[in-house]
Amino acid sequence: MLKRYLLAPGPTPVPPEVLLAMARPMIHHRAPEFDKLFAEVREDLKWLFQTRNDVLILAASGTGGMEGSVSNFLSPGDKALTVNGGKFGERWTKLCKTFGAQVTELKVEWGRAVDPQAVADALKKDPSIKAVYVQASETSTAVAHDVKALADIVKGYEETILVVDAITALGVLDLKTDAWGLDVVITGSQKALMLPPGLAFASVSEKAWRLADKAKNAAFYFNFKRERENQQKSTTAYTPAVSLILGLKEVMNILKAEGLEAVFARHAMLATAMREGVKAAGLSIFPQERPSDALTAISAPEGVDGQAVYKNLRTQYGMTAAGGQDHLKGKIFRISHMGYIDSFDVITALAAVEMVIKGLGYPIKLGSGVAKAQEIIMGKS
Amino acid sequence: MLKRYLLAPGPTPVPPEVLLAMARPMIHHRAPEFDKLFAEVREDLKWLFQTRNDVLILAASGTGGMEGSVSNFLSPGDKALTVNGGKFGERWTKLCKTFGAQVTELKVEWGRAVDPQAVADALKKDPSIKAVYVQASETSTAVAHDVKALADIVKGYEETILVVDAITALGVLDLKTDAWGLDVVITGSQKALMLPPGLAFASVSEKAWRLADKAKNAAFYFNFKRERENQQKSTTAYTPAVSLILGLKEVMNILKAEGLEAVFARHAMLATAMREGVKAAGLSIFPQERPSDALTAISAPEGVDGQAVYKNLRTQYGMTAAGGQDHLKGKIFRISHMGYIDSFDVITALAAVEMVIKGLGYPIKLGSGVAKAQEIIMGKS
């Protein structure tokens, strides 16, 4: 018997009560029962997104939300600024190009956060840029960009919006959508929202809707305006992913019971325990700055293949983590601590990492990382 | 206690064993366990679609598959022929226009099937038409278009493809994808596939892939070529809807155990029982020709509001059916018999319809429709 541990940065574990909610008999999406459910989760999402604006619910994984936040706001030929500090930043660039935008790409060394001044300079140089695309948490490097600082800059341009991929940030980091002025915020169901993949979400500011009014691009399935019209009437333009929305209601109940502040504090504490545990075990975390609280990227130590760590975690201990992507393959491995995760998941992960790395021949003192995490969890460090 | 009956044309009831399969703990989509599952359902889908070509699996509802079968095959300015015999035919027209195609729309009276000769004439008149878009089963009118006859016509044009929305047809009607030459066949999870909404499927012929090679439209989330490359390696371009794919495997086990021929025969028998039952009760079915075996559209009798029938079915008897759309609102109501449906579901539906219509003051002999359905089910009619 090999017990399974899902510690990849999405999908994350789904709480049993949510699994059960989704196993309820199917209901119809054009019936009062669904209307009520949908109206409730819409209100709950505004709370979670810290916004008074509508949060659109789409039947797609997160990339669908990313696509919609390009196709609904940019016309072919429009200028876009993308922050590419990893695999998902790269996706913004590809998406913008696919939809015919003229893209200025701000390359950021993987493992570092974007320097807000670089964005300020780019906008100053070309104020006709219509949208700035960035990740709140870049999953491939486990770095959190400073979206508050970026919002402060973009706010100064009346016709420029800030689009934030918060797929591994929403419900982890305190993102003050309205207060900071994040124009479009995207997330997906399978991260801190503790659901299976299949839902994307997008909040859209009034400033962004004004831009959408002028945009000419082919947006049909991901047509935000059409969705807003429908969703304000508690329905959807196309068939919604009913079972996931049933699960979402259950998730929102869990999150509301915990409270937003507590949710952020829990993630911060777990992330600190993980990072400090890693360091206490003699390993190092990959981010050079602003590590994300959603997951930790750990550098493979000298002589150890990061892919071997990731694979042995699975085969020896039933633990699904993630490897590195592109040029980071073999150099890092990543462990998530977002969503339905508690202290002992972090301790378990640290213990397994210690064992696997020792097993690969690298000298490590078993229990050293675990002990540090215990201290932090007990509030003694 | 009001027991619930879901008899709307999607979502349809989900078998309990499928609900339970989806309630299993989440697995990661980049892990051997998922790879194996994905490879298996891909093979199963080829069997169900009656094709040797890949059947792409997308995290979206059916309209996402429809969008992809426009954006991947047509460039702006390309000519398309759409068959509009109802709400979903209309959607083909809207989609083609959204992606910049020059659309010739063949309007078909709602309740009738397209005359294949009209398609033949349109193609003869303009052989540069790149694609013909049609429904195998038009859900808004419950009419099945003769896609075999259309395929015979389109086959004669080397650079024209036939795209079939089989969302309420696949797994109901015997659609011989390869044998007939249906180039692109789309379906969704929440119809005969007995799953919650959230998956779209598309099979694509070699002829269609050749057209895709020339197409220039913005397809990112629904990029079929990128999906094929990935899915042939048992992965997906973007995060798949994992729990629905777990359920899909269970559904395929059920369908394979029953056998394709038996699945079609069951739907044909249930549809016949429903239609003959309706007539025996003194009511009439809406389609003037080629009624679909997926669902039955029933004309509201003189003096009875079809919307009242639909609403009373729900409020009085806990039965979710569907009303009419657009100009058919109030004129018809629709009852599905696809997917996880057996004889007694049809009998239940007929009994409820008799009771509701009698309750609305229209003279009907209780049990008359039920008796006819019983005869058909017993094989005595």
Domains and CATH numbers, chain A: 16-257 (3.40.640.10), 260-377 (3.90.1150.10)
* Strand spans (E) along B255-359: 284-285, 295-299, 319-320, 322-323, 332-336
Answer whether B20 touches A (CB < 8 Å). Answer: yes
Do β-strands B319-320 and B295-299 pair in parallel, antiparallel, or remain unpaired? unpaired
Angle, CA of A248, A249 and A254, to the nearest 5° = 95
Cross-strand partners of B165:
B135, B186
Answer whether B172 touches A (CB < 8 Å). Answer: no
Please tell me what DSSP assigns to residue B327: G
What pLDDT sits at residue A51?
A: 98
Interchain CB distance below 8 Å, B196 and A26: yes
What pLDDT sits at residue B2?
A: 80
Yes or no: say if A180 and A148 are a contact pair by the CB < 8 Å rule: yes
* Cα nearest neighbour of B239 on chain A: A61
The DSSP-derived string for A178-244 is IIII-SEEEEETTSTT-S-S-EEEEEE-HHHHHHHHH--S--STT-HHHHHHHHTTT--SS---HHH
What pLDDT sits at residue A381?
A: 61
Answer whether A65 touches B (CB < 8 Å). Answer: no
Count the neighbouring beta carbons within 10 Å of the beta carbon of residue B103: 21
Count the neighbouring beta carbons within 10 Å of the beta carbon of residue B258: 12
CA-based max dimension of chain B:
62
Answer whether B218 touches A (CB < 8 Å). Answer: yes
What pLDDT sits at residue B229?
A: 97
Q: Which residues of chain B are within 8 Å of residue A8 when distances are taken between CB atoms?
A: 28, 30-31
Answer whether B2 touches A (CB < 8 Å). Answer: no
Task: Report CA Rg, chain B.
Answer: 21
Interchain CB distance below 8 Å, B26 and A12: yes
For chain B, the straight-line distance linking the first and the last C-alpha, in angstroms and rounded, comes to 36
Yes or no: say if A24 and A246 are a contact pair by the CB < 8 Å rule: yes
Give the length of chain A: 381
Q: Which of B298, B245, B310, B252 is nearest to B271 (CA)?
A: B298
User: Which runs of consecutive H residues, i.e. helices, occur in B323-378?
Assistant: 343-359, 368-377
Q: Which residues of chain A are within 8 Å of residue B8 when distances are taken between CB atoms?
A: 28, 30-31
Nearest to A14 among B25, B220, B221 (CB): B25
Answer whether A10 touches B (CB < 8 Å). Answer: yes
Q: Which of A352, A286, A334, A229 is nearest to A12 (CA)?
A: A334
Q: Which residues of chain B have pLDDT under 50?
A: none
Nearest to A19 among B23, B30, B322 (CB): B23
What pLDDT sits at residue A1?
A: 76
Please report, for residues A41, A67, A74, A130, the alpha-carbon distance to residue A77 in angstroms, rounded to integers and kept in the order given: 37, 17, 8, 10
What pLDDT sits at residue B240?
A: 97
Give the length of chain B: 381
Task: Provide the shortest C-alpha distance from residue B360 to chain A (in Å).
Answer: 21
Interchain CB distance below 8 Å, B198 and A71: no
What pLDDT sits at residue B264?
A: 98
Answer whether A322 touches B (CB < 8 Å). Answer: yes
Yes or no: say if B5 and B335 are a contact pair by the CB < 8 Å rule: no
Task: Provide the shortest C-alpha distance from residue B41 to chain A (in Å).
Answer: 18
Answer whether A287 touches B (CB < 8 Å). Answer: no
Ligand-binding annotation for A334, yes or no, is yes
Task: Report CA Rg, chain A.
Answer: 21
pLDDT in tens, chain A (381 residues): 788 899 999 999 999 999 999 999 999 998 888 999 999 999 999 999 999 999 999 999 999 999 999 999 999 999 999 999 999 999 999 999 999 999 999 999 999 999 999 999 999 999 999 999 999 999 999 999 999 999 999 999 999 999 999 999 999 999 999 999 999 999 999 999 999 999 999 999 999 999 999 999 889 999 999 999 999 999 999 999 999 999 999 999 999 999 999 999 999 999 999 999 999 999 999 999 999 999 999 999 999 999 999 999 999 999 999 999 999 999 999 999 999 999 999 999 999 999 999 999 999 999 999 999 999 999 866
